[in-house]
Amino acid sequence: MERRHLAECGSTNTEALAHLRDGGGPLIVSASRQTAGRGRLGRAWQSDDAALTFSLALPLPAELDLSGLSLAVGCTVADVLDPAGTRIQLKWPNDLFLDGAKLGGILIETVPLPGQLRGVVIGIGINLAPLPPEADRSAFASGHAALRTLDPAATAAGTLDRLAPALQAMLADFANLGFTPWQAAFARRDLTLNQRVRIGDKPGIARGVSGRGELLLDTGTGVLPMSGGELSLRLENAL
């Protein structure tokens, strides 16, 4: 896949979306510095050399079901960075945690394209070093972790070199098989499994994820499959 590195941009997701709108093919765009990076739920993700920030841009068939894609991306990143599976956990639907604190996040955005296609952008941000005090990353309101705690020699370029082929392989499989093959892998790293949580304003106990990547919320009177990129999941003890 073509790769492009920018010294600075607003957001690698914005760059990737514009590339797809212009008729571009598969691309990985990374940046040393983002001045208007964004996370889910309208949160800011500005970043500098202390983070790896990149986006994969892909034109895909419009009918492809993207349910669970952010979870499959999370599993792939976690398996590359922590193959033993002991330190990195995943918090539905898009957060990477290291030793119990947020290490990074995933933001998937789409754009309609001509010819039965949809442009899919998978943005990934991973902290390499602790955030400077002035950093505006509201996505980390409740604390953050840094990859160099796990791998002191980790660099942005080296980490991207390790992640890119694994993500490409995952995407080829996902296009054929959907999320189901990653359901067990997600369960092994599921941060909130059997914990009291709140999704939006709904309290319950998290019972893992379905084969479509929905969070299964046990409300006491039944198990509700919850989906949607704009839902926030909070651990009850972190309320």
For residues 3-32, which are near ligand BTN according to CB under 6 A? 11-13
The yes-or-no answer on residue 234 being catalytic is yes
What CA–CA distance (Å, rounded) separates 186 from 92?
9
Q: Is 40 a catalytic residue?
A: yes
Binding to ligand BTN by residue 119, rule CB under 6 A? no
- 46 near ligand BTN, rule: CB under 6 A: no
Q: Looking at 68, 123, 204, 213, which residue binds ligand BTN (CB under 6 A)?
A: 123
Tell me 229's DSSP state: T
- Residue of 38, 102, 137, 189 marked active site: 102
Q: Does 43 bind ligand BTN (CB under 6 A)?
A: yes
Which residue of the set 38, 40, 91, 189 is catalytic?
A: 40
If one asks whether residue 135 binds ligand BTN (CB under 6 A), the answer comes out as no
Question: Which residue in 116, 111, 101, 124 sits closest to 47, CA to CA?
Answer: 124
Contacts of 101 (CB under 8 A, 6+ apart): 143, 144, 145
* Of 6 and 193, CB closest to ligand BTN: 6
Helix, strand, coil percentages (3-state) for the chain, rounded to 5, are 30, 35, 35
Buried b (16+ CB within 10 A) or exposed e, 73-98: bbbbbbbbbbeeeebbbbbbbbbbbb
Q: Contact positions toward ligand BTN, by CB under 6 A?
A: 11-13, 34, 37-40, 43, 45, 53-55, 94-95, 105-107, 123-125, 139
| Catalytic residue positions, numbered | 40, 102, 234
